[in-house]
Amino acid sequence: MRYIFTIFSTIVFHLGYSQQKNDSTEIIHVLKEDYKTMVTYDINKHKSNCTGDYLLIENGEIWNMEMEAADYQKKAKRVLSRNDFFDFKYFKIMDNTAYAVYGLKSEITENGKLTTRHWNESTIFRKEDGAWKIALIHSTPIVSK
């Protein structure tokens, strides 16, 4: 009987670990794909990556999806390239909620001029209908002196 319990416990542990590993991979994928929408200005893709109550906290302001959509539309004629480099510092998954804390370095080229920007960010994710979505991004710019 003890042998069966040990096997059962091992299977449950590995299934849980495997699911958490799959979830963390999916969460990181959603985040990275969402950042690409800032170059393509694909607000519909951005909306599909986010929850209905999504918020962005940046530069001392709290934006909802409508405010962000207006910003995407305003910037849609800009032509730029952007490479994002994520440095994940902390990651936690609890049932259908997860959060990540990370550094973000972005190399943005517009009109031949390269600008490098850095932020410390945290993102809250929620699993809805089996898919991970972004519920909140809090972004703090790191200003070089």
Give the chain's domain count. Answer: 1
- Classify each residue of 86-96 as buried b or exposed e, where b means 16 or more C-beta atoms within 10 Å of its C-beta: beeeeeebeee
Q: Is the model's pTM score more than 0.85?
A: no
Element (H, E) at 72: helix 65-75
| Structure tokens, 59 | 């530069």
Give 2-10 contacts, CB < 8 A, sequence gap 24+.
Answer: none
Helix H or strand E encompassing 22? helix 2-40
Handedness of CA 67, 140, 102, 90 (dihedral sign): negative
Q: How far apart are CA 121 and CA 84, in angstroms?
A: 13
Whole-angstrom CA distances from 116 to 83, 97, 108, 139 are 10, 31, 6, 16
Q: CATH number of the domain at 134, please.
A: 3.10.450.50
- pLDDT for the residue 14: 46
- In tens, the pLDDT along 43-91 reads 999 999 999 999 999 989 999 999 999 999 999 888 889 999 999 999 9
Percent over 90 (pLDDT), the chain: 77
State the pLDDT at residue 2: 56
Domain that holds residue 12: 2-142
DSSP helix/strand/coil, 49: helix
